[in-house]
């Protein structure tokens, strides 16, 4: 069963990549804002089906009062999500799928570190610093490689 979950988690990463790439293709023709709109529209419609389905099977249902009880700012996730898809659809057409994945993940993890900065111990801090350093070095390395390959192309 464990192997099944591992495979599903890896597959999920692939599905994330698939969604970003498809949005990137739409962005090539129609621009990143249109890509973000259709991504959220189709996502909302398909999740509506899922919501109705699980409501029908009554696994989980959500009362209206429940919806209103939530902190208002948690609903802003959707606004930020719309901006995120705009940014991602734009960059994937410029730097390709691999680089945009690497840089987006780097930004995501580094922000995660900043969002909850705490250092329970020195070892903890050292490991975090090493991780942050490795990510920054990797991004730098990737940027340098880009410039080198451009230079080679222009001289040949």
Q: Is 147 helix (H, G, I), strand (E, B) or coil?
A: helix
Q: Which of 57, 58, 124, 152 binds another protein (CB under 8 A)?
A: 124
CB of 126 to another protein, least distance (A): 10
Q: Does 119 bind another protein (CB under 8 A)?
A: no
86 and 32 Cβ atoms separated by less than 8 Å: yes
Question: In whole angstroms, what is the distance from residue 103 CA to residue 109 CA?
Answer: 10
Residue count (the chain)? 156
The contact pattern for another protein, residues 52-91, with x = CB under 8 A and - = no contact, is --x-----x-x---xx-xxx-xxxxxxxxxxxxxxxx-xx
CB of 53 to another protein, least distance (A): 9
Q: Which of 57, 64, 95, 152 binds another protein (CB under 8 A)?
A: 95
**Residues sharing a CB contact under 8 Å with residue 21, sequence separation 6 or more, in sequence order:** 92, 97
């Amino acid at each position: 069963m464990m192997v099944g979950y591992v495979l599903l988690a890896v597959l999920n990463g692939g599905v994330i990549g698939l969604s970003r790439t498809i949005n990137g293709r739409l962005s090539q023709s129609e621009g990143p804002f249109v890509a973000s709109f259709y991504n959220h529209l189709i996502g909302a419609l398909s999740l509506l089906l899922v919501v109705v389905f699980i409501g029908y099977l009554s696994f989980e249902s959500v009362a209206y009062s429940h919806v209103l009880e939530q902190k208002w700012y948690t609903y802003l996730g959707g606004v930020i999500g719309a901006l995120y898809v705009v940014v991602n659809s734009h960059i994937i057409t410029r730097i390709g799928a691999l680089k945009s994945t690497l840089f987006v993940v780097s930004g995501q993890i580094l922000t995660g570190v900043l969002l909850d900065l705490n250092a329970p111990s020195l070892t903890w801090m050292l490991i975090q610093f090493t991780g942050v350093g490795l990510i920054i070095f990797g991004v730098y390395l990737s940027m340098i490689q880009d410039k080198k390959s451009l230079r080679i192309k222009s001289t040949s």
